[in-house]
Structures are given as structure tokens and as C-alpha cells.
Amino acid sequence: MVEQTRAHYQAELEQLEASALGGLDLVSEQLGRTIEAVEQQDVELAQQVIVDDDRIDGRYLEVHQSLIALLATQSPVATDLRLISALLHVLKNVERMGDQCVNVCKLIPLTGNEPPADAEMLSRVVTMGKQARTLISQAKRAFEERDVAMAQDLVRQDDVVDNLNRECFHLALEIGDDADKREWAMTMLLGARAIERIGDNAVDIGEQVAFVVTGLFREFEDASHPDG
């Protein structure tokens, strides 16, 4: 006697979730090219990343508008309402992560064609980028599978990014007296900071996974009150 109803609405919601989470694939691709541009000092590739950010912004606008329309026309409640609320957050995170890739790429021309790169620091920035990509794909999977444990594990993965960022800071402090090298190190620190924020955005997505599943919102880690 139980009859499934509102099939079109359900299909639309599923499609919008896929589109919003697909934004994470776009970001991962952008971050991959950003890392390559940093590693190779590839100004053209960096420019391409900056231009392609419009794709992410377009995805944001399109899915955001559709979710608002769904809220207005379908009066979603319960899990559907939490899902839509979470997707609006995820979209914002996707858009911010895209902007962080742009921020890194805008730094690349500033360091010149043959920058006085410090191999140790460069390797850490590259590793940070790769780790941040791992976080992005894990956040996406956790959301798709509604896996709270996997979402919470993002905190541990993000610690790796945070530690590398701190190491970059110390390496920059000790980089020596050469003015060009110091300038390069300062520029790289800004890039490392942008990648570190991408990691934080991935953790935010994990928190939304927990909200969708449990109905309770909790920050996995409270940066402003680390001692509870």
C-alpha cells in the first residue's frame, strides 16, 4: 500500500547533489594544475587556472539558484531540508576553494621566471597541495556515502596540511639574508596559506556530512576555542 511519490522532485534533488559535489571534482582538477604551475613555475598554466575559475563560479550560481527554487517550490523538510542546507554550504566551500587556487596562481608571475626556489620549501608546498586534493576527494566520498567516520577523519588528514604549513613558516624564517630568496619565500608562504585554507574548507564539508546524517551541527574542531 506504500506508494512512492514526488519522483521528479527526488530526481531533481539527486541531480543537484551530484552537480554540487561535482564542483569538488572541478576544484580538485584546478588544484592539481595549480600545484603543477607552482612546481614548474608555469605562468601560462597559472593563467589558465585563473580563467577556468569561471567554470566553478558558474557551477555555484547554477546549482545555488536551483536549490533556492527547490526550497521555494517543494517545501522540503527533514533530511531533504538538511541536505539542501548542507549543499548550499558545500557550494560556498567549492567556490572559496576555487578562489584559493586563483590566489596561488596569481602569485606565480610575481616570483619571476627563474625564482631562487628553496627545494625543501617548494617540496612542502607541493606536498600540501597533493594532501589537500586527498582531502577534497575524501570529503566528496564522505558526502556521497553519508559516512560520518570518514568525514571526521578529514580533521586528521588536515593536520598533515597544517603541519606542513608550519614547517614552511619555519623554513621561511631561516631562509637567509638574500633579499630575492626572502621575497620568494614570503610569496610561497602566501600560497601555502591559501592551500591550508582549502584543507579547512574540506573539513567544513565533512561537518556538513555529519549534519545531514545526524541533524546536529558540530564543528569537528573549534579553532577559536581550541581548549574547549
Residues that bind other proteins (CB under 8 A): 1-6, 9-10, 75-82, 214-218, 225, 227
Shortest approach of other proteins to residue 197 CB, angstroms?
23
Shortest approach of other proteins to residue 172 CB, angstroms?
20
Query: Is 81 or 126 the residue whose CB approaches other proteins more closely?
Result: 81
Identify which of 139, 148, 50, 164 has the alpha carbon closest to the alpha carbon of residue 100. Answer: 50
Amino acid sitting at position 110 = L
The sign of the CA dihedral 98, 103, 104, 108 is positive
Query: Is 78 or 179 the residue whose CB approaches other proteins more closely?
Result: 78
Shortest approach of other proteins to residue 96 CB, angstroms?
24
Q: Are 53 and 102 in contact (CB under 8 A)?
A: yes
Query: Is 79 or 137 the residue whose CB approaches other proteins more closely?
Result: 79
Rg value, the chain, Cα: 20
DSSP code per residue over 109-156: GGG-SS----HHHHHHHHHHHHHHHHHHHHHHHHHHHT-HHHHHHHHH
Pull the grid cell for residue 27.
576544484
Shortest approach of other proteins to residue 29 CB, angstroms?
34
Q: What does residue 75 show for φ and ψ, rounded to 5 degrees?
A: 45, 60
Query: Is 80 or 118 the residue whose CB approaches other proteins more closely?
Result: 80
Helices 119-145, 7-40: inter-axial angle, 10-degree rounding: 170
Query: Is 83 or 132 the residue whose CB approaches other proteins more closely?
Result: 83
Query: Is 77 or 119 the residue whose CB approaches other proteins more closely?
Result: 77
Shortest approach of other proteins to residue 71 CB, angstroms?
12
Shortest approach of other proteins to residue 81 CB, angstroms?
6
